[in-house]
Amino acid sequence: MELAIDTSTRHATVGLSQQGNTIAELAWRSERNHSVELVPAIQRLLAHARTEMAALSGIYVAIGPGAFSALRVGMSTAIAMAMAREIDLVAIGTLEVEAFPYLRLGSEVRAIIGAGRGRLYLGVFEAGGPASKGDIGLVSHAEFFDNLAADAIYCGEAAAELAGAIRERLGPAARVVEAPPPTRRAGTLALLGYQKLQAGDRADPRSLEPVYLRSAQVDEAARRWGSRSTVVHPER
């Protein structure tokens, strides 16, 4: 059995799966902070599934981009559990989770998450391509709207909020997923995590860091997801 953890933003989720197939999941909007809420949420999930920590064979964790402090809570919990129990740890990009449900619809997918201060985390994923091959970056709202693609699917936590402005520029036929948050399911994280685990793509808990973008000028090679978990460090 595997545990999925995503605290990338205020909208958090945890889930239990068996070989990537969801058994139970729980999502909530954090009103205080993830450090207070995460462990009780995991305990409730285990109790609901009538299982215990000892049954876990792996942990899938979202590594951002997102809110730095929130990401640290989820990742530190996942790392501590994986090291204590000596079980597999798999890292998945948050924008991968947002984009994955739409990658087989025949269009480029652009996943967006609010980054504060008039900025967005943006992931661009090729039609039909793997979620692990998307390009990610940090852009201003102006940069985002100046580079809209008429045939792309727009999704993610910020999509519903920006849907009106996107349609104003692209027309009523613009393809925007207007589902309100939470837009990321633990079940999607579990499926991606299991696929990576089957491919031998395990994270090293001793060196894993969150994806945390501070500049739109991040080097393209550094922010391209490869076959291994990619880390983008903040600028010094």
pLDDT higher than threshold 80 for residue 221: no
Torsion-angle region of residue 106: left (phi > 0), alpha (psi -120 to 50) or beta? left
Span 91-116, pLDDT tens digits: 999 999 999 999 999 999 999 999 99
**Tokens representing 103?**
């990658």
**Tokens representing 114?**
């609010």
Domain borders along the chain are 2-94+184-217, 101-176
**What is the value of pTM for the model shown?**
0.89
Span 30-40, pLDDT tens digits: 976 899 999 99
Q: Classify domain 2-94+184-217 by CATH number.
A: 3.30.420.40
- Map residue 56 onto helix, strand or coil: coil
